[in-house]
Each structure stands twice: as C-alpha cells, then as structure tokens.
Amino acid sequence: MFMITIIVPVQNDLRITKLIDSLFQAKLLECQETFRLVFSLNKASKKIEILTKDLAQKFPNLIQVVKSQESGISVAKNLAIKTYFKETDYFGFIDSDCIVNPDYLFVLQKYLLSNKYQVVRGKVNFIPLKGNTLSNLNCKLRNASYFLNQKALLSPNLILSKEVFQKAGVYDPRIKYGDDLEFGQRTKSFDLKSIYAQDLLVNHYDDRSFWGKTLKTMWGYGQDRGFRLTRLLRLHHHSFCDVVSLIIGFQAYWQPRVIAEIIFCLGYLIISRISTTISILNLRKKPNSHFFEHPTLTGQNQIITSLPINKELP
C-alpha cells in the first residue's frame, strides 16, 4: 500500500471550505489509510488558522497542518514536502480555490495502483465569474493553455512521486508565481513516466476580486519569467534576436478570433512582458551563482549545469 499526501497551500482564501467539502464528498474519510491532507499555512489569516487546526483536531489521522512564517507558495509547498517526505510515496497539489470531482480520489488511486507513472497531471477546468466577460476570456485562455501544455508540471491538480523531488530538488522560493513552470523546466533533463489524465478533474474558480487578482498575476508571471530567462541566458549564450524572441515568446494558444480576445491577449502580453523586461534588467545586478542554483530536499543549493532551451517558454 502507498501513501498519498495532498498539499493545499493557503493564506487567506476562505473558499477552501468548498474544497474541503468536495474532498469529503469524494470519500476522503473512507480513504484515510491511503491519503493524508496537509494544509500548509503561508502567513495565514487567523480565520484560516482556526479552521484548519479545528479540522486537524477532529481528524488527527487524516488531516495535518504545517505553518511557515515566510511568504510564498513555494515556501509553503516545500515545508509540507520536507515534513512528510519519509512517510509519503506521492505528493498531490491542489489550490485552495478548487473543487474536486466526486470520483477524484478513486480515479487517482486507479492511476497510481498501476505503478506506471511518476507524474500524473489531471485536468483543470477554469470556471469564470458569472456575467463577467473578461473573466470568461481569462478562463478560456487558461483552459487552452492547460490543454496545450499537457506535459508541463503545472499545478493545481498535479501528482508527483517522491522520486521526482529526489532527482530535481524542490520548488524555488525565489519564484512567486511561476514556481511550477521553473520546476517543470528543471525536470526536463530526467526521464519521467507521466500521463495527462482527463478523467482526473478539478474545477478552479476565478477570484471575485478579478481585476486586482488578474493584473497582479499577469505582472507576477512576467517577473518570474524574467528570472527563468535570466538563468537560461546566463547558462547559454544567445544572439540579440534570440534574446528578444525569448523575452516576447509566442505560444500556439494565442489564437484569438474576436476583438475582445485580441485586446485581452495583447493586454496580457504587454503587462507580463514589461515586467519580464524590468525583471531581467534588475537581475543583471545579481551574481551569476544566484542563477546556477536550485534548492534541494536537504536545504543545500545544487548547481545547475544546463537547462533545455525552449523559445516558447510559458
């Protein structure tokens, strides 16, 4: 028998109650010999802290809480990974604003019992706010992105064997929004057996504070893209044209068909690429060693000697 630790990083999103309800509806309590649910508190609000600790007291063999005083989703995920590494075979990652399908745990066990895969990527269905046109466009874009990046180790709805972290290290706490993208880029040098499971489904709901959240996310992804590109450019020498193409990037899912989609996509590209460029300019001041390292399970930094060159980085 194996143990699956599901990690839910959370700060102040009270929508986590819907995730908890959906996990119990998916028979989490009946599967407690196989599953452990860990809430990793990331400078969490008092309400979240009380909610999660009450659950841990009520179900001590099923639910655990770890707490970090540092900010960042990478910090939260790494803390849970390191805390439960020895007693876990697979780690799953779900966001606090998600809801799992009623058969989620059953389907997940089906894939893991086959003992064929080190990586299981489930489907994420992004749900827009009702009556919000831009939210509809945002979710349409994200759904297309996830479908076309089936090999990328994007979270939420990602399940990884502990062996993946032994090989590639853990998430980089310097990355605030694109930690999964950077981690996935690192794992490309390893031969990982993976599958994209469309029947392993979670619904991911757009935030009610749509404008602030979306603009912050666009800017954050651009900054983290700047970090990854700076590291890549310091490991590999490129011509000026190569550098420009890496900064701009252009993926297959940018195929808007109506004027509203064109404006939204251009807005995303402009905002994210401005922050990418600013990030690269600022990071030029950093020493080279800052970009040659990534965190390991032991807490030591490991030197990166090469990374795959991909001109269509997400």
Question: Which pair of structure tokens corresponds to residue 195?
Answer: 């599958």
Instruction: Domain count for the chain, please give it.
Output: 2
Q: Has residue 93 been placed in a domain?
A: yes
Residues 204 and 222 in one domain: no
Domain range for residue 272?
Answer: 211-303
Phi, psi at residue 53, to the nearest 5°? Answer: -70, -35
Residues 188 and 269 in one domain: no
Residues 168 and 254 in one domain: no
The pTM (predicted TM-score) of the whole model is 0.92
Residues 180 and 51 in one domain: yes
Q: Has residue 313 been placed in a domain?
A: no
Q: Has residue 308 been placed in a domain?
A: no
pLDDT in tens, 277-307: 999 999 988 888 888 888 999 877 888 888 8
More confident residue, 272 or 250: 272
Least Cα distance to 47 among 83, 91, 17 occurs for 17
Tell me how far the alpha carbon of residue 14 is from its chain's centroid.
Answer: 19
Residues 216 and 205 in one domain: no
Residues 183 and 216 in one domain: no
Residues 217 and 194 in one domain: no
Residue finishing a domain among 152, 177, 209: 209
- Measured CA to CA, the distance from residue 196 to residue 199 in angstroms comes to 9
Residues 182 and 226 in one domain: no
pLDDT in tens, 170-183: 999 998 888 998 99
3-state secondary structure (DSSP) of residue 25: helix
Residues 237 and 137 in one domain: no
Q: Has residue 238 been placed in a domain?
A: yes
Residue finishing a domain among 184, 209, 234: 209
- Measured CA to CA, the distance from residue 274 to residue 270 in angstroms comes to 6
Residue finishing a domain among 158, 188, 209: 209
- Give the per-residue pLDDT at 253: 47
Q: Has residue 235 been placed in a domain?
A: yes
Which pLDDT band holds residue 310 (cuts at 50, 70, 90)? Answer: low
Residues 201 and 285 in one domain: no
Residues 177 and 262 in one domain: no
Residues 73 and 158 in one domain: yes
Write down the residue that tokens 């998430």 correspond to. Answer: 171
pLDDT in tens, 202-217: 999 888 777 788 899 8
Q: Has residue 226 been placed in a domain?
A: yes
